[in-house]
Amino acid sequence: MSIFDTANKYIPGGVNSPVRAFKAVDLEPIFIEKANKSYLYDINGKEYIDYVCSWGPLILGHNNEEIKQNVIKACENGLSYGTATKLEVDMAQFICENITHIEKIRMVNSGTEAVMSAIRLARGYTGKDKVVKFDGCYHGHSDSMLIQAGSGLMTEGIPDSSGVTKSCTMDTISIPYNNLDILEEVFKKHSYNIACVILEPVAANMGVVLPNDAFLKGLRQLCDTYKSLLIFDEVITGFRLSFGGASEYFGITPDLVTYGKIIGAGMPVGAYGGKKEIMDMVAPNGAVYQAGTLSGNPIAMTAGLTQLKILKENESIYSNINNMSKYLFENLKYIIKRNNFDCTINYIGSLGSIFFTREKVFDYMSAKKSDTKKYAKYFKNMLDKGVYIAPAQFEAIFISNEHNKEIIDKTLNIIEDSIKNII
Ligand code: PLP
């Protein structure tokens, strides 16, 4: 019996998160035993260059020595206390002192929890009901966020998952990314009943899709006009696009920000934060209830804070990963042109995507033009040749500080071969 057979016997679908099942690429999952720097090693000892990086957070690569040593030390003191610790105060202070638009922050355990809590807070603070999100943006799996992305011009309240009732999603409005006209229509239609607009300031869950120049600015203005909160879901972009995330990168100040895995350096962490006046509505100060037994866990705080301090103290990390990313994606563009491949590249900073379509990708509908069957074949070829990319088209490639030119050159050759072999 293979491990996957055993897994299937005891775990639904054999996995603890659906994309790991490799269904989108029509394969069985690989099982990873260990990782180091930019490499993963499966249980058969096969080595892969990793461009998933635990879905983004491992910006310093796998098994960073300083983080590992600090975590080992922290473990000596016990794994969890369920009480207040200095470590979580250090983490909050560090983020608030370094990210100008965050005056207070609350730790949670995942991006899903961060978003769910931020939305509750936005509703509590504004006294309004509706939430606007954008087709193709993923904000975790809380009920109100599970609206079918890309299901037309304006999807109102049609749940995307069995088990989510219509009443859970009837106040969620999902509209196309990068389209301010539709957002304005929505604001006009619902006049002053929109609690918040939430988005990935760079979308990374329909593949990487960049906001156009006017989009983020326009969002900010519309939210101000209609007295709604603007929430940047920076689970992917936070501390990656720049130290101050997308907010700093684009110079737009959201009212609330959600963070995820990156502030735990890969440990299970999330957080939401923003203006003091808003955050003070959270229990026990205010009437918006939110809690968590393991929130601010000492091991996760140690790992996360170590990573954030390394990033803060070594600005060259951002220029390095951005240069490596540029090197990868610009060469990829050249390879595509040289071979006349039916592909499009979107990238920004240290994340990007290759879409199997020639057309420009700027929202969910255009992303869906990508040929996912071709992606599946490409994925298999890449995996066979020892490169691990996301096992689904609508995800990102992440570069870490451990990806160097030599590794990227090797990858570029493998990508060229892998695409050639599907045509
Ligand atoms: N928000 C965004 C932008 C994400 O990419 C994700 C997950 O990747 C989430 C929220 C949910 O985070 P988690 O998987 O930690 O619940």
pLDDT at 158: 56
Cβ pair 109, 268 in contact under 8 A? yes
Geometric angle at alpha carbon 258, from 253 and 261, rounded to 5°: 130
Distances (CA, A) of 286 to 121, 267, 279: 10, 29, 9
Tokens of 21: 């099942």
Cα–Cα distance measured from residue 247 to residue 235, given in angstroms and rounded to the nearest whole number: 12
Is the Cβ atom of 237 under 6 angstroms away from ligand 1? no
Tens of pLDDT along the chain (423 residues) come to 899 999 999 999 999 999 999 999 999 999 999 999 999 999 999 999 999 999 999 999 999 999 999 999 999 999 999 999 999 999 999 999 999 999 999 999 999 999 999 999 999 999 999 999 999 999 999 999 988 543 333 344 556 788 988 898 999 999 999 999 999 999 999 988 999 999 999 999 999 999 998 999 999 999 999 999 999 999 999 999 999 999 999 999 999 999 999 999 999 999 999 999 999 999 999 999 999 999 999 999 999 999 999 999 999 999 999 999 999 999 999 999 999 999 999 999 999 999 999 999 999 999 999 999 999 999 999 999 999 999 999 999 999 999 999 999 999 999 999 999 996
Tell me how far the alpha carbon of residue 395 lies from the centroid of ligand 1, in angstroms. Answer: 12
pLDDT at 147: 80
The terminus-to-terminus CA distance of the chain in angstroms comes to 35
pLDDT at 224: 98
Q: Residue 21, Cβ neighbours under 10 Å: how many?
A: 21
Residues 6+ apart with CB under 8 A from 296: 84, 85, 87, 88, 91, 107
Q: Write down the pTM of the prediction.
A: 0.96
Tell me how far the alpha carbon of residue 409 lies from the centroid of ligand 1, in angstroms. Answer: 30
Geometric angle at alpha carbon 178, from 172 and 181, rounded to 5°: 75
Q: DSSP code of 28?
A: P
Tell me how far the alpha carbon of residue 260 lies from the centroid of ligand 1, in angstroms. Answer: 7
Is the Cβ atom of 51 under 6 angstroms away from ligand 1? no
pLDDT at 149: 45
> Please, what are the domains in the chain?
3-63+315-420 (3.90.1150.10), 65-313 (3.40.640.10)
Atom of ligand 1 nearest to the CA of 140: 11
